[in-house]
Amino acid sequence: MLQEESDLSLVIAQIVQKLKGSSLYAQLERQAWGSWEKRILKSLNSMCTELSIPLARKRPVGEQKELLNKWNEMGTDEPDLSLFRPVYAPKDFLEVLINLRNPNYENGDSLSFRTHLGLIQVPLKVKDIPELKEFFVELGLTTGQLGIDDSTQVPPELFENEHVRIGQKVLAEQDSAAAQQYIRQGSPTALRAELWALILNISSQPEDILYYEQLKTNVIQHDLLVDSLIYKDVKLTASNDDYYFVFEDYLYQVLLCFSRDTSVLGHFAYNSASPPKSYIRGKLGLEEYAVFYPPNGVIPFHGFSMYVAPLCFLYHEPSKLYQIFREMYVRFFFRLHSISSHPSGIVSLCLLFETLLQTYLPQLFYHLREIGAQPLRISFKWMVRAFSGYLATDQLLLLWDRILGYNSLEILAVLAAAVFAFRAVNLMEVTSLAAAEAVLADLSTLKVMPLLQIFLFATVT
Amino acid sequence: MINEMSVQTIRNVFSVETGYRLSDDQIVNHFPNHYELTRKDLMVKNIKRYRKELEKEGSPLAEKDENGKYLYLDFVPVTYMLPADYNLFVEEFRKSPSSTWIMKPCGKAQGKGIFLINKLSQIKKWSRDSKTSSFVSQSTKEAYVISLYINNPLLIGGRKFDLRLYVLVSTYRPLRCYMYKLGFCRFCTVKYTPSTSELDNMFVHLTNVAIQKHGEDYNHIHGGKWTVNNLRLYLESTRGKEVTSKLFDEIHWIIVQSLKAVAPVMNNDKHCFECYGYDIIIDDKLKPWLIEVNASPSLTSSTANDRILKYNLINDTLNIAVPNGEIPDCKWNKSPPKEVLGNYEILYDEELAQGDGADRELRSRPGQSLGPKGGRSRDSGRTVLTTWK
Asked if A448 contacts A415 with a C-beta cutoff of 8 angstroms, the reply is yes
| Residue B131 scores a pLDDT above 90 | no
CB-based contacts of B76, cutoff 8 Å, min separation 6: B43, B44, B47, B147, B289, B290
Helix (H) or strand (E) holding A427: helix A424-428
Interface mutation vs chain B, best among A76, A189, A394, most B CBs within 10 Å:
A189
> In which band, very low, low, confident or very high, does the pLDDT at A28 lie, cut at 50, 70 and 90?
low
Nearest CA in chain A to B234: A313
Give dist(CA A297, CA A294) in Å, integer. Answer: 5
User: What pLDDT digit, counting tens, does each position of B56-86 carry?
Assistant: 999 888 888 888 889 889 999 999 988 888 8
CA–CA min distance B292, chain A (Å): 24
pLDDT at A128: 92
Of A148-157, A426-435, B263-272, the one with minimum mean pLDDT is A148-157
In angstroms, what CA-CA distances link B204 with A350, B198, B199, B201, B276? 46, 8, 8, 6, 25
**Widest Cα–Cα separation across chain A:** 88
Share above pLDDT 70 across residues of chain A, in percent, rounded to a whole number: 85
Q: Which amino acid type is present at position A251?
A: L
Question: Which of A72, A316, A393 shows the shortest C-beta gap to B191?
Answer: A72
How many of the other CB atoms lie within 10 Å of CB of B243?
A: 13
What is the β-pairing status of strands A290-292 and B79-82?
Answer: unpaired
∠ Cα B165 B168 B171 (to 5°): 145
> In which band, very low, low, confident or very high, does the pLDDT at B19 lie, cut at 50, 70 and 90?
low
Quick check: B60 contacting A, CB < 8 Å? no
In angstroms, what CA-CA distances link A233 with A256, B81, B280? 12, 50, 34
Give dist(CA B297, CA B310) in Å, integer. Answer: 10
> In which band, very low, low, confident or very high, does the pLDDT at A286 lie, cut at 50, 70 and 90?
low
pLDDT at B333: 72
Render B218-278 in DSSP notation, one character per residue: --TTTTTEEEHHHHHHHHHHHH-HHHHHHHHHHHHHHHHHHHHHHGGGS---TTB-EEEEE
Question: Which of A75, A190, A240 shows the shortest C-beta gap to B221?
Answer: A240
> In which band, very low, low, confident or very high, does the pLDDT at B367 lie, cut at 50, 70 and 90?
very low
Side-chain-side CA neighbours of residue B369 (13 Å): 28
pLDDT at B265: 93
pLDDT at A440: 95
DSSP structure class, residue A201:
T
User: What pLDDT digit, counting tens, does each position of A33-49 carry?
Assistant: 677 777 887 887 788 78
At A116, give phi and psi (nearest 5°): -70, 120
| Contact map slice: B 88-127 vs A, CB within 8 A | none
Quick check: B3 contacting A, CB < 8 Å? no
Mean pLDDT of all residues in B99-117: 81
Q: What is the tally of helices (H) and strands (E) in chain B?
A: 12, 14
CA–CA min distance A76, chain B (Å): 8
CA–CA min distance B237, chain A (Å): 5
Side-chain-side CA neighbours of residue B282 (13 Å): 26
Give dist(CA A297, CA A330) in Å, integer. Answer: 12
Q: Which amino acid type is present at position B350?
A: E
Give dist(CA B91, CA B84) in Å, integer. Answer: 14
A412 or A205: whose pLDDT is higher?
A: A412
Share above pLDDT 90 across residues of chain A, in percent, rounded to a whole number: 51
Distance of CA A277 to the CA centre of its chain: 23
Distance of CA A133 to the CA centre of its chain: 22
Cross-chain residue pair A189–B236, CB shorter than 8 Å:
yes
Mean pLDDT of all residues in A92-96: 88
| Residue A246 scores a pLDDT above 80 | yes
Share above pLDDT 90 across residues of chain B, in percent, rounded to a whole number: 30
DSSP structure class, residue A185:
G
Nearest to B252 by CA among B347, B336, B137: B347
| Residue A315 scores a pLDDT above 50 | yes
Question: Which of A239, A250, A314 shows the shortest C-beta gap to B238?
Answer: A314
Nearest to B266 by CA among B305, B295, B237: B295
Mean pLDDT of all residues in A231-251: 90
Interface mutation vs chain A, best among B184, B238, B338, most A CBs within 10 Å:
B238
pLDDT at B69: 85
> In which band, very low, low, confident or very high, does the pLDDT at B196 lie, cut at 50, 70 and 90?
low
B386 or B63: whose pLDDT is higher?
A: B63
| Residue B97 scores a pLDDT above 90 | no
In angstroms, what CA-CA distances link A446 with A202, A435, A438? 31, 19, 15
Give dist(CA B372, CA B230) in Å, integer. Answer: 8
Of A268-277, B156-165, B234-243, the one with minimum mean pLDDT is A268-277
DSSP structure class, residue A155:
-
What is the β-pairing status of strands B79-82 and B144-148?
Answer: antiparallel
pLDDT at B259: 95
Nearest to B270 by CA among B167, B170, B168: B170
| Residue A447 scores a pLDDT above 80 | yes
User: What pLDDT digit, counting tens, does each position of A170-205 carry?
Assistant: 999 999 999 999 999 999 999 999 999 999 999 889
- Supply the ipTM of this predicted assembly: 0.85
User: What pLDDT digit, counting tens, does each position of B27-41 carry?
Assistant: 788 888 888 999 888
Give dist(CA A83, CA A81) in Å, integer. Answer: 6
Peptide bond into B366 cis (omega under 30): no
Give dist(CA A352, CA A357) in Å, integer. Answer: 9
How many of the other CB atoms lie within 10 Å of CB of A257?
A: 24
How many of the other CB atoms lie within 10 Å of CB of A180?
A: 18
Nearest CA in chain B to A195: B237
> In which band, very low, low, confident or very high, does the pLDDT at A281 lie, cut at 50, 70 and 90?
low
Asked if B281 contacts B289 with a C-beta cutoff of 8 angstroms, the reply is yes
User: What pLDDT digit, counting tens, does each position of B332-342 carry?
Assistant: 777 787 888 88
Give dist(CA B334, CA B271) in Å, integer. Answer: 11
Mean pLDDT of all residues in B183-205: 72
Torsion from C-alpha of A254, A256, A260, A261, nearest 10 degrees: 10
pLDDT at A448: 96
pLDDT at A113: 53
CA–CA min distance A324, chain B (Å): 15
User: What pLDDT digit, counting tens, does each position of A40-79 carry?
Assistant: 878 877 887 887 777 788 888 888 888 888 888 887 766 7
Cross-chain residue pair A190–B372, CB shorter than 8 Å:
no
pLDDT at A24: 54
CB-based contacts of A118, cutoff 8 Å, min separation 6: A350, A351, A354, A355, A357, A358, A374, A375, A376
Mean pLDDT of all residues in B45-55: 93
pLDDT at A35: 77
Render B74-118 in DSSP notation, one character per residue: --S--EEEETTTHHHHHHHHHHSTT--EEEEETT--TTTT-EEES
Nearest CA in chain B to A315: B238
CA–CA min distance B181, chain A (Å): 14
Nearest to B177 by CA among B304, B244, B263, B279: B263
Render A293-307 in DSSP notation, one character per residue: SSTTS----TTGGGG
Residues of chain B neighbouring A71 (CB-CB closer than 8 A): none
> In which band, very low, low, confident or very high, does the pLDDT at A421 lie, cut at 50, 70 and 90?
very high
Beta bridge partners of B116: B102
| Residue B324 scores a pLDDT above 80 | no
Of A291-295, B78-82, B139-143, the one with minimum mean pLDDT is B139-143
SS3 at position A136: coil
Side-chain-side CA neighbours of residue A248 (13 Å): 28
A–B: how many Cβ contacts below 8 A?
Answer: 70
pLDDT at A150: 81
SS3 at position A349: helix
How many of the other CB atoms lie within 10 Å of CB of B323?
A: 16
| Residue A80 scores a pLDDT above 70 | yes
CA–CA min distance B372, chain A (Å): 10
Quick check: B222 contacting A, CB < 8 Å? yes
Give dist(CA A90, CA A385) in Å, integer. Answer: 9
Question: Which of A73, A189, A245 shows the shortest C-beta gap to B233?
Answer: A189
Of A155-169, B224-238, B361-375, the one with minimum mean pLDDT is B361-375
In angstroms, what CA-CA distances link B79 with A151, A163, B93, B208? 42, 46, 11, 20
Asked if B376 contacts B338 with a C-beta cutoff of 8 angstroms, the reply is no
DSSP structure class, residue A409:
S
> In which band, very low, low, confident or very high, does the pLDDT at B295 lie, cut at 50, 70 and 90?
confident
pLDDT at B232: 95
Residues of chain A neighbouring B375 (CB-CB closer than 8 A): 152-153
∠ Cα B250 B254 B259 (to 5°): 150
| Residue B203 scores a pLDDT above 70 | no
pLDDT at A40: 80
